[in-house]
Amino acid sequence: MTQLIPMISEEEIRTQVKETGHRISSDYEGKNLVLAGVLKGAFVFLADLTRAITIDHEIDLIGVSSYSGTTSTREMTFTKKPDIDLEGKDVLLVEDIVDTGNTLSALLEYIKTLNPASVKICTLINKHERRETEIDVTYSCFTLEKGFIVGYGLDYNELYRNLPAIFDLKL
């Protein structure tokens, strides 16, 4: 029987997302900020984060379906490439959760080829247990040692993205 155990409340999420939005607003003052949300998982976080940021910024969406190969030969398959010309922009990649780090490190390499002024990472959850590729995560709302969580955009087989809070999934 599938069990959903409450883990992070709506209130805790709201507080952390607001706080992260304030930090980003002050760090990116006077810069050309582009929030680039990674589909699909980041869509709920992105919607709240953009409204917690008080400076002007652009929004884009990136869809990555898979990656293959080693770091040097990694190929990304995009379901949606960025629409905005990111050259000279200060890109902030917005993710739901960093797990192995493989998706984001490949995406970082790709974004860098577009000659942005800077590229950094903002994730709702930074999960450490299975990290394979070391990446620099500048903003993270919550840290998780291990487990599989759902809700607030995060899915299990495409379900549970709609839950307003975050739950530990026990199968």
41 counts as binding ligand IMP under rule CB under 6 A? yes
Alpha helices per DSSP H over the chain: 10-27, 43-52, 102-112
Q: How far apart are the first and last CA of the chain?
A: 6
Of 20 and 123, CB closest to Mg ion: 123
CA distance 142 to 114: 30
Active-site residue flag, 99: yes
41 counts as binding Mg ion under rule CB under 5 A? yes
Q: What are phi and psi of 11, to 5 degrees?
A: -65, -45
Single out the catalytic residue among 56, 99, 155, 168: 99
As beta bridge partners, residue 159 has 156
Site string for ligand IMP, 129-168 (x = CB under 6 A): -------------------xxx---x--------------
Give the number of residues in contact with ligand IMP, rule: CB under 6 A: 16
Q: Which residues in the 83-122 window bind ligand IMP by CB under 6 A? A: 95-104
**Residues with catalytic roles:** 99
